[in-house]
Amino acid sequence: MTDTLSLFRAFIRVVEAGSFTRVAHEQNSSQPTVSRQVAALEDHLGTRLFTRTTRKLTLTDDGRGFYERAKAAIEAVSEAEDAVGRRRSRPSGALRLAVPVVFGRLRVIPHLKEFLTRYPEITIDLVMNDANADLVEEGIDLAIRSGEVTDSALIARKIGVTRRVVVASPSYLRGRTLPKHPSDLAAHDCITFTGVTAGVHWRFEGSSSDGTVSVEVKGPVRTRNSEGIREAVLCGLGIGYAPVWHFTDEIEEGRLVALLAGYEPKPEPIHAVYPSRRFVPQKTRAMIDFLEQRFAMDPKLSPRPVRKAVASGKGTPRKK
Q: Are 260 and 196 in contact (CB under 8 A)?
A: no
Q: What is the CATH number of the domain that holds 289?
A: 3.40.190.10
In a domain, 263, yes or no: no
In a domain, 313, yes or no: no
Q: At what angle do helices 282-296 and 109-118 cross, to 10 degrees?
A: 130
In a domain, 198, yes or no: yes
Report d(CA 251, CA 9) in Å as an integer: 48
Report d(CA 172, CA 5) in Å as an integer: 60
Instruction: Please compute the mean of the pLDDT values over residues 95-105 and round it to a whole number.
Output: 92
Do residues 253 and 176 both lie within one domain?
yes
Q: What DSSP element (H or E) covers 52?
A: strand 50-52
In a domain, 315, yes or no: no
In a domain, 207, yes or no: yes
- Please identify, among 64, 85, 106, the residue that sits at the C-terminal boundary of a domain: 85
Measure the CA angle with vertex 76, ends 75 and 79; round to 5°: 80
Question: How many domains in the chain?
Answer: 3
Do residues 252 and 110 both lie within one domain?
no
Report d(CA 12, CA 169) in Å as an integer: 50
Whether 313 shows a pLDDT value over 60: the answer reads no
In a domain, 33, yes or no: yes
Nearest to 252 by CA among 315, 175, 185, 319: 319
This model's pTM is above 0.75: no
In a domain, 314, yes or no: no
Q: Could you tell me which residues come within 8 angstroms of residue 295 by beta carbon, excluding any fewer than 6 positions away?
A: 107, 159, 160, 270, 301
Instruction: Please compute the mean of the pLDDT values over residues 265-293 and round it to a whole number.
Output: 87
Do residues 78 and 154 both lie within one domain?
no
Do residues 156 and 170 both lie within one domain?
no
Q: What is the CATH number of the domain that holds 234?
A: 3.40.190.290
Do residues 71 and 103 both lie within one domain?
no
Q: Which domain covers residue 6, as residue numbers? A: 2-85
Q: Are 284 and 142 in contact (CB under 8 A)?
A: yes
Do residues 229 and 113 both lie within one domain?
no
Confidence of residue 320 (pLDDT cuts 50, 70, 90): very low
Q: What is the CATH number of the domain that holds 72?
A: 1.10.10.10
Span 218-246, pLDDT tens digits: 988 988 888 888 899 999 999 999 888 88
Give the up-direction half-sphere exposure of residue 58: CA atoms within 13 A in the CB hemisphere: 7
Confidence of residue 196 (pLDDT cuts 50, 70, 90): low
Report d(CA 133, CA 140) in Å as an integer: 8
Report d(CA 255, CA 234) in Å as an integer: 8
State the CB neighbour count (10 A cutoff) for residue 7. Answer: 21
- Please identify, among 227, 258, 289, the residue that sits at the C-terminal boundary of a domain: 258
